[in-house]
Amino acid sequence: MDGNALKSWLEIPGNSDFTIHNLPYGIFRSRDRTPRAGVAIGDYVLDLALLAKEGLLKGPGMDAAVFSDRYLNNFMALGKPVWQAVRHRIGELLTEGNTELKAYKEEALVPRDSVEMLMPVHVGNYTDFYSSEEHATNVGKMFRGPENALMPNWKHLPVAYHGRASSIVVSGTDIIRPKGQTKAPDAPAPSFGPSKRMDFELEVAFVIGKSTQMGERISTDEAEDHIFGFVLFNDWSARDIQAWEYQPLGPFLGKNFASSISPWVVPLEALEPFRIPGRAQYPEVLPYLKYKGHHSFDIPLEVAITPDNGEETVVCRSNFKNLYWNICQQLAHHTVNGCNLEVGDMMASGTISGQAPDSFGSLLELSWGGKNAVKLKDGSERRFLEDNDSVIMRGGAEKGGIRIGFGEVRGKLLPAN
C-alpha cells in the first residue's frame, strides 16, 4: 500500500488511531457474533470472518477458516507473505473508489462501541526486556547509587527475564492488588499483606508470528521476519514485594500477578513511516548484536491516572524511540543460545523512560521511590497507586498525513482480596 496516496471511502474521524494506514488486527465478539478476527478502521470493526466466508480474502497460502478462530495465532502462522497479502487486500477493499464491499457494508462493518474485545493472541511464552537506559539508570541510582547505576553487563546485552504468560490480560480487565512478603528497611523480619507500592510500567510489546526450532538462531537481519506486530503493555508491579524477593533470581510475585495489553495488534508494516535511526551504542556491541538499517520508531506514548469517579491526569509522556536496545537486537539475543520461539510469544520492551522527569515510565521513577508526590487534577497526590485508580496508556504518531495509533490499554486496580 502506498501510504501517502491512500484515502478510504469510509468516513474516518480526523483524530482516529485506526486509519487506513494502520489496519490493526484483533479478536472481537458481539451479541450476534462468536469470537472472530477483525480489523479496526475508524469507528468500526471490519469482520474478517465474514469477508473470508464471502470469498473476499483469497490468495496463495490463505486459509479462510483462521479468521473464525478464537485467537490470531493460526493466521500469524501462515507466514509473512500471507500477512502482507491480507493487509494489502483489506486496504484495497477500503480504498476510495473500490465498490466490492458495497453489498456487505452493513454486515461487515460493526460499530466498535458495540463489541467486546478479547485477548488477540494466545501467549505461550512471555519475555520482559529491560531496554531503556534512562529507566535502568534511574532504578540503579535509587537502589545502588549513581556510581553503580548500570550493572556491568547492561550495555553489552539486552537484559531480560521470562515472565508469566497466563496472567497477561486484555485492556479493561480489573487488577486485584496482590499480597506477598515485604520487609521495611528498619524491620527485623518480613511481614505478609497487600502491596503498599503498586505501580505501572509503560511498555510496548511485539508478538512473534514465525516459530523456530530448538538450536536455531535468529540474526538481526532476520528478526523482523518473525515479528507480526505490536501492542501497548502495562507491566503492573508491586514494588515492595519485588524489592524483598528479587535477589538473587529477579522478579517473581512482584510481577507475575498481572500484565495488561491493548486489544489491537498494530502490524509492523504500519510503523514503517515512523522508522528512525537507533541510539548510539557504546561500547561497541558483539558481532551478533550489530545491525543494519533503522529499527527504532518515533511513536509518542503517554500514561494517565484516573481516580475512582475522578478526572484523568496525564502523568507521563514518553516515546518508543527511548530504547537503547532495538527489537532486532532483542530477538537476536533471545535466540543466540538456541532458544526456540513459538507463534504468539510476546516480548515486552521493559519500562520506556526518557530523559525529562515527566517522561519517566513508572511511578517508582516519577515519585523517585516515593519521595516526591505526583499531583493529580483533583488535588490529590500519588506516590504509588491507590485502590480503584485506573491506569490508561496510549500511543500514536502522525507524519506526512499518515496517522497510526494503538488505541489504549486500561486497567483498574481493585482492593486486595
- Supply the Cα-derived Rg of the chain in whole angstroms: 21
Nearest 10 degrees: Cα torsion 188, 190, 194, 195: 80
Q: What is the DSSP string of 246-276?
A: -TTT--STTTTT-EEE-S-BEEGGGGGGGEE
Residues in Cβ contact with 7 at an 8 Å cutoff, skipping those fewer than 6 apart: 20, 95, 96
End-to-end CA distance of the chain: 50
How far, in Å, CA of 79 to CA of 300, rounded?
29
Q: Are 278 and 295 in contact (CB under 8 A)?
A: yes
Residues in Cβ contact with 284 at an 8 Å cutoff, skipping those fewer than 6 apart: none
Active-site residue, from 21, 88, 122, 135? 135
How far, in Å, CA of 41 to CA of 62, rounded?
22
Residues in Cβ contact with 1 at an 8 Å cutoff, skipping those fewer than 6 apart: 21, 87, 88, 91
The x, y and z cell numbers of residue 84, run together, are 502482507
Query: Does 135 participate in catalysis according to the annotation?
Result: yes
Return contacts of 357-360, CB within 8 angstroms, 24+ apart: 358/315, 358/316, 358/317, 359/134, 359/316, 359/317, 359/318, 359/319, 359/322, 360/134, 360/135, 360/138, 360/316, 360/318
Residues in Cβ contact with 146 at an 8 Å cutoff, skipping those fewer than 6 apart: none
How far, in Å, CA of 205 to CA of 64, rounded?
27
Peptide bond into 248 cis (omega under 30): yes
How far, in Å, CA of 144 to CA of 150, rounded?
9
DSSP tally for the chain: helices H, then strands E = 8, 26
Question: At residue 4, what are phi and psi to the nearest 5 degrees?
Answer: -65, -25
- Which of the residues are catalytic? 135
